[in-house]
A and B are shown apart, each in its own frame.
Chain A
Amino acid sequence: MVQSNAMTQPETVLELEDVCFSYTNCQPVLSIPDWQVRAGQQLFLHGPSGCGKTTLLNLLTGMLTPSHGSIRLLNETLTSLSGSQRDRFRAHHIGVVFQQFNLISYLSVADNIRLAAHFGKRRSKNIDQDTASLLEQLQMPTRLLKQRADNLSVGQQQRVAIARALINHPEILVVDEPTSALDEAAGEAFMKLLLSLSRANNSTLLFVSHDHRLAADFDEMVSLPELNRANSHAV
């Protein structure tokens, strides 16, 4: 049996057009003439440090706005939204996992997730139940929910970060070097969970890393230095 969405052309979730960004006016850090990402894709965005990865992610999540050009996410032109509209959009549609320090250290695990649900406007509907089920899928005991976030190991914290990022069922999951603070075994386990959970959630995954070895299980790999024309004259 063939699934219906496989038949139709997958829609575009992300579309960058003529995007240019510079912190100061003189030298652009990032310049992407044209880039699209299809829905449901698991994309490995490769790039050495200093090539504008974090800047790109900040643009995609609406934390920064480009100097010119347009960014469309889920048929919404991010670049024409106001700051608070972008914040709301991020809360509702994008899950973010950082390299480390993903949690507010003085809040409990449960409160960290609840806070994300709060901003995602999912206040009343079975958050606790969803949280417990996410934790189970992440192979973590639910007793950790009551622990302060900084009592957890770094590996545990990174896994809670996935739960936190997925609690609002975001269409897009943005992940930035999440395994760099983990040892190899923990890193591998983390990658497996991340890929399977983002797939189960039907989220489009944008994964950024400098580490080629992690790219194996992704649908597609894109090299950021190739995408980014800002430094092309130097290459």
Chain B
Amino acid sequence: MKWLACRNLTGPIAMLFKVALQSLLNRRMTVLLTVLSIAISIFVLLGVEHVRKEARESFGRTVSGVDLIVGARTSQLNLLLYSVFRIGNATNNITWQSYQTLAANKAVAWAIPISLGDSHRGYRVMGTSKDYFRHFRYGSQSPLVFNSGQAFDAVFDVVLGAEVAKKLNYKIGQQLVLSHGLGKTSFTKHDDKPFQVVGILEATGTPVDQTLHVSLAGIEAIHIDWQNGVQRPSMKISAEQALQHDLTPKNITAFMLGLNSKMATFRLQRAINDYRYEPLVAILPGVALAELWQMMSTMEKVLLLVSLLVLLASLIGMATMLLASMRERYPEISVLRAIGARPWFIFTLIELEALLISVAGIAVALSALTLSVAQLQDYLGEHYGLFISRDFYSADVGFLLLLVLIATFTIALIPAINAYRRSVGANRHNS
């Protein structure tokens, strides 16, 4: 009994699939092009969605537990981007004096100074204090963890982010030279003062992975014989000599503050913004991020709309293709009707062909997306501090794909109803 029921169920469906597949294979050139056009539009749609979501995720994950970020007066977005995401440059430095004054405020629990401007083979170098490893948090309050070694101690010690160590294949104890400026191929190297790798951090999926961390004294030491951005040959100072100097920094780029009580945040922010001795700005990372999202959201909506329109265009292209093929398929419909196929069979056949084209398009798009996300991952991380995960399958993607299939079905109603009408009407075969 069960077996019989099963046969009855699979029989017609298997037959329908077979006819639909053979029919598509018969027109493989047009079908292939249609599949490609749908694949490209789904690729764009899912790609945009994935990058959008991952960008938010990645940005939101980068900093947590920091109450205020302070820098020279600029827009809050600019300060956030250069201090946390290593995107763009500081407009101005702030004095060590200001930092010390503000860090000593009784509302402040901890302070992390940041000094940027140098690089190593395209990766940015950040001068900071040991407090950075103690207080900095990312993701959901995760602290930085050492994969090997420990925090810097000596002036010429460096701690590498996970990605830097992996990509450049550095081990503890190795020596490296920092470059002046941020270019990947900088011609001005601090090669007279090499640094030694003393620690490598665990991967965090944030710009920390792409950063080399040195002490502020280290930053000071390599610039001790520099003035206005150039090394002055007349007053060259060797690494050993540099250690004899006072290596207290005169300037830093920005600093992060953790407060004893959240309640004090706004009060302190106002105090810093009104700081009398220097034009400073203090931002709340969350608020600045929200501003960023607000700016991006219009752009995101436009992108989403464009990708939906591209999808609609390719689905209409598919419907056009199916509709155009109807004329040549009329004898086929007559034959199917003559051997007893119901008009619904014809209707379902056309719908099934459309859905098979879309499913093939989805399969191609997903494979292409898997490949390109894997390819783009490193690039986006290195160049934009954007960490997108390889795993783009989510409920949202499932929903979008379901939407694609529903749209396919709906648009394929045009050729399917056309075929249905033809098959219900009189058979004027051969005439």
Contacts of B231 in A (CB 8 A): none
Asked whether B429 lies within 8 Å of A99 as measured between CB atoms, the reply is yes
Asked whether A88 lies within 8 Å of B340 as measured between CB atoms, the reply is yes
User: Which of B334, B335, B337, B427 has the largest number of chain A CB atoms within 10 A?
Assistant: B335
Query: Given the known A-B contacts A98-B430, A104-B19, are A63 and B337 also in contact in the complex, defined by CB atoms under 8 Å?
Result: yes
Contacts of B7 in A (CB 8 A): 123-124
Contacts of B341 in A (CB 8 A): 87, 91, 119
Decide if B250 is an interface residue (CB 8 Å cutoff). no
Instruction: List the A residue with the shortest CB-CB distance to B337.
Output: A63
Q: List 21 A-B contacts (CB under 8 A).
A: A54-B429, A54-B430, A58-B427, A61-B338, A63-B337, A83-B343, A87-B337, A87-B341, A90-B338, A91-B339, A96-B339, A99-B429, A100-B430, A101-B334, A103-B335, A104-B332, A115-B19, A118-B11, A118-B15, A119-B340, A119-B341
Decide if B342 is an interface residue (CB 8 Å cutoff). yes
Asked whether A23 lies within 8 Å of B339 as measured between CB atoms, the reply is no
* Closest chain A CB from B19 CB (angstroms): 7
Contacts of A64 in B (CB 8 A): 426-427
* Closest chain B CB from A107 CB (angstroms): 6
* Closest chain A CB from B32 CB (angstroms): 15
- Interface extent on B, as a size class? 20 to 34
Bound complex: CA of A120 vs CA of B344, how far in Å?
A: 16
Bound complex: CA of A90 vs CA of B340, how far in Å?
A: 6
Which residues of B in the span 1-58 have a Cβ within 8 Å of any Cβ on A?
Answer: 7, 11-12, 15, 18-19, 22-23, 25-26
Which residues of B in the span 348-396 have a Cβ within 8 Å of any Cβ on A?
Answer: none
Contacts of A58 in B (CB 8 A): 426-427
Bound complex: CA of A212 vs CA of B353, how far in Å?
A: 44
Contacts of B149 in A (CB 8 A): none
Instruction: List the A residue with the shortest CB-CB distance to B428.
Output: A54
Bound complex: CA of A235 vs CA of B15, how far in Å?
A: 50
Decide if A169 is an interface residue (CB 8 Å cutoff). no
Bound complex: CA of A116 vs CA of B343, how far in Å?
A: 15
Which residues of B in the span 313-342 have a Cβ within 8 Å of any Cβ on A?
Answer: 331-332, 334-342
Instruction: Beyond the given A100-B430, A104-B19, A115-B339, please list 13 additional residue pairs across the A-B interface where CB-CB is below 8 A.
Output: A61-B338, A63-B426, A64-B427, A87-B342, A91-B340, A98-B429, A102-B335, A104-B335, A105-B26, A107-B19, A116-B340, A118-B15, A120-B340
Asked whether A101 lies within 8 Å of B338 as measured between CB atoms, the reply is no
* Closest chain A CB from B77 CB (angstroms): 60
Contacts of A102 in B (CB 8 A): 335
Decide if B431 is an interface residue (CB 8 Å cutoff). yes
* Chain A 19-42 interface 0/1 with B at a Cβ cutoff of 8 Å (1 = within): 000010000000000000000000
User: Which of A84, A88, A92, A115 has the largest number of chain B CB atoms within 10 A?
Assistant: A115
- Listed from nearest, the 7 A-B pairs whose CB atoms lie closest are A91-B340, A106-B26, A119-B340, A101-B331, A96-B338, A116-B339, A99-B430
* Chain B 389-431 interface 0/1 with A at a Cβ cutoff of 8 Å (1 = within): 0000000000000000000000000000000000010111111
Bound complex: CA of A61 vs CA of B426, how far in Å?
A: 11
Asked whether A107 lies within 8 Å of B22 as measured between CB atoms, the reply is yes
Decide if A171 is an interface residue (CB 8 Å cutoff). no
Asked whether A101 lies within 8 Å of B340 as measured between CB atoms, the reply is no
* Closest chain B CB from A66 CB (angstroms): 12
Bound complex: CA of A23 vs CA of B431, how far in Å?
A: 16
Asked whether A101 lies within 8 Å of B339 as measured between CB atoms, the reply is no
Contacts of A159 in B (CB 8 A): none
Bound complex: CA of A107 vs CA of B25, how far in Å?
A: 10
Query: Given the known A-B contacts A58-B426, A124-B7, are A106 and B342 also in contact in the complex, defined by CB atoms under 8 Å?
Result: no
Bound complex: CA of A99 vs CA of B429, how far in Å?
A: 9
Bound complex: CA of A96 vs CA of B343, how far in Å?
A: 17
Bound complex: CA of A98 vs CA of B335, how far in Å?
A: 9
Asked whether B18 lies within 8 Å of A111 as measured between CB atoms, the reply is yes
Instruction: List the A residue with the shortest CB-CB distance to B8.
Output: A123
Contacts of B18 in A (CB 8 A): 111
Instruction: List the B residue with the shortest CB-CB distance to A87.
Output: B342
Contacts of A115 in B (CB 8 A): 15, 19, 336, 339
Bound complex: CA of A195 vs CA of B335, how far in Å?
A: 22
Bound complex: CA of A187 vs CA of B429, how far in Å?
A: 20
Contacts of A111 in B (CB 8 A): 18, 22
Asked whether A54 lies within 8 Å of B427 as measured between CB atoms, the reply is yes
Instruction: List the B residue with the shortest CB-CB distance to A181.
Output: B430
Bound complex: CA of A130 vs CA of B340, how far in Å?
A: 19
Asked whether B426 lies within 8 Å of A23 as measured between CB atoms, the reply is yes
Bound complex: CA of A176 vs CA of B335, how far in Å?
A: 13
Bound complex: CA of A44 vs CA of B344, how far in Å?
A: 34
Contacts of B344 in A (CB 8 A): 84
Contacts of A46 in B (CB 8 A): none
Bound complex: CA of A120 vs CA of B12, how far in Å?
A: 12
Cβ-neighbour of A123 out of B11, B424, B430 (below 8 A): B11
Instruction: List the B residue with the shortest CB-CB distance to A180.
Output: B430
* Closest chain B CB from A193 CB (angstroms): 20
Bound complex: CA of A177 vs CA of B430, how far in Å?
A: 10
* Closest chain A CB from B326 CB (angstroms): 15
Bound complex: CA of A91 vs CA of B337, how far in Å?
A: 9
